[in-house]
Structure 1
Amino acid sequence: MTAPASSLQIRDDRDGPCSERDFARIHDFIGQSYWAAGIPADTLRRALDHSLCYRGYVDGELVAFARAVTDQATFAYLADVFVLPAHRSRGHARALVGALMDDARVQGLRRWHLVTRDMQRLYAGLGFQALSQPEYHMQRHDPDVYRRGD
């Protein structure tokens, strides 16, 4: 049985970088995710180095992760949120993302953005909503970049 969210220990990048073991666990999960399948380890490491990263631990083991890409003044993009399957439905994602959004470095931002195909209910509970004017938003998306090795 897994522990309730109240036992989740949250650490962020100010506590120091994650261990190689934790990075490997993060890479294993994200590298198999629908949103970043095949991401090379060096690409992910570079992404984490330029993000606010939050990690969740139960009994010393990394079980959850989230990061924000931000200018720390106007905008943040919430990315790579996950909870390992054995630890889901315990409130860990809500606790971890809530802690990240409460970080002093991202207070007063005009806009937070995220992309998800399956967790709308979680994020709605954290104040996110569907785009009111999706026609104003554009993207440049290359889903095969990791497979090609560009």
Structure 2
Amino acid sequence: MIPTTNDSSFQISTDRTRLDIPMIYRFLSEQSTWAVGISRTVVERSIENSLCFGGYLDGRQIAFARVVTDYATIAYLVDVFVVPEYRGRGYAKQLIRIVMEHPSLQRLRRFTLNTTDAHSLYARFGFAPPQRPDTVMERYFPNIYLS
């Protein structure tokens, strides 16, 4: 368990066995703006192949983040959320701080994420628009889980 500072009852762990997979799946498939319709199989496979962070309040998981990384040069922060009834209490800031301080995620050349509405949250941790957006390309299929 990784201690946090603001709320002693809120703790963050990278222990995959503690993750509440049904809750994560429900949130991503039904409430997220980026993965509506995602299958449980895809959620489970994504968790198996990522560094995951669960946020727990009194033993109940209320937050999640995962990082796709090679642990040497690059990382991609994805699927960050706090369940709606616990938002606005600083848990997302604590979660991102712990992610950014994780020993395996230090000295990476590039750390990326995508967000539509949390720019100010991530800016606190050094994230900014790409310095060279003309070099960034992507293949993007926003509704892939709905087909």
TM-score normalised according to structure 1 size: 0.89
The runs of 5 or more residues in structure 1 that have no matched partner are none
* Whole-angstrom CA distance in 1 between matches of 2:91 and 2:23: 17
DSSP-derived class of the 1:31 partner: helix
- For the 8 Å contact 2:77–2:112, the answer to whether it is kept is yes
Moved over 6 A (4+): none
Report the equivalent of 1:98: 97
Q: CA deviation at 1:38?
A: 0.5
Q: State the Cα RMSD in Å.
A: 1.3
Change (3 A) 1:28 1:92: same
Q: CA deviation at 1:6?
A: 3.9
DSSP-derived class of the 1:80 partner: strand
Query: Which of the residues 11, 15, 32 maps onto 2:13?
Result: 11
1:127 aligns with 2:123: no
The runs of 5 or more residues in structure 2 that have no matched partner are 1-5
Q: Aligned residues, how many?
A: 141
* Whole-angstrom CA distance in 2 between matches of 1:39 and 1:17: 21
Trace 1:78-93 onto structure 2 (pairs within 5 A).
Answer: 78-93=77-92
TM-score normalised according to structure 2 size: 0.90
Trace 1:1-150 onto structure 2 (pairs within 5 A).
Answer: 5-12=7-14, 15-19=15-19, 22-32=20-30, 33-148=32-147
Q: Percent identity?
A: 43
* Whole-angstrom CA distance in 2 between matches of 1:6 and 1:59: 10
- For the 8 Å contact 1:5–1:95, the answer to whether it is kept is no
